[in-house]
Copies of this chain bind each other. A is one copy, B any other.
Amino acid sequence: MEEPERLQKQKELVECIGRLHEKDGFQPVTARIMGLLMVMDKEEYTFDEIVQEMKISKSSASTALKNLEIRGVIEYVTYPGDRKRYFRFVSGDINEMIDGIEKKMKLQLDVIEQALELKKNPDSRNAKFLENVKEGIHFFIKNMRKLKAEYSKEH
C-alpha cells in the first residue's frame, strides 16, 4: 500500500474508533485521541502535536488527555532535559478486558439479587426469569476466571 493511502486509512480508522468509543461514554474528541494513539505509526505524541493533529484547542486537549489518563487508557512519559509530556496508549491488556466484563456482570448480578429479594412471590414469571439469569451469570463468572488463569499460564 502506498504511504499516503495508508495514512488516509489510518485516519479513517481513528474516526471509526472514535465513534465506537463514544458509545462507551467518551466524548467525541477524547475518543478520537484514543484512536490516534492506538493506530498511527507515530506512537508518542506531545500535547502540541495532538492539538495540531486533531485541530482542537489546547483546553480540549488538556481535558481529554486528563480524562484518558484517569481512566487508564493513556499514560505519558518524559525525557530528561525535555519538559514536554509524551502521551502514549496503554495496552488494553486482555485480563483487564475480562475483568471489565466480569465487573459489569457482577453489577447486573447485584441488581438481580436485589430484585429477587424484593419479590413478594418467588414463583412469579419475572422472579423465575431472574433466578435463571442469576444462575447463568454465576456459571459464566466462575468459568471466566478459570479461562483467565488458563490463558495466563499459556502466555
Contacts and interface: CB of A to CB of B under 8 A. Distances in A.
A6 interface: yes
B13 A133 contact: no
Given A16-B111, A20-B107, A136-B94, A129 B41 contact: no
B94 A140 contact: yes
Nearest to A134: B94
Nearest to A98: B140
Interface string A4-37: 0010011001001100100101000000000001
Interface residues on A, range: 35 or more
Contacts of A144: 147
Interface string A108-132: 1001001100111100111001101
Interface of A: 6, 9-10, 13, 16-17, 20, 23, 25, 37-39, 41, 43, 88-89, 91-95, 97-98, 101, 105, 107-108, 111, 114-115, 118-121, 124-126, 129-130, 132-133, 135-137, 139-140, 143-144, 147, 151
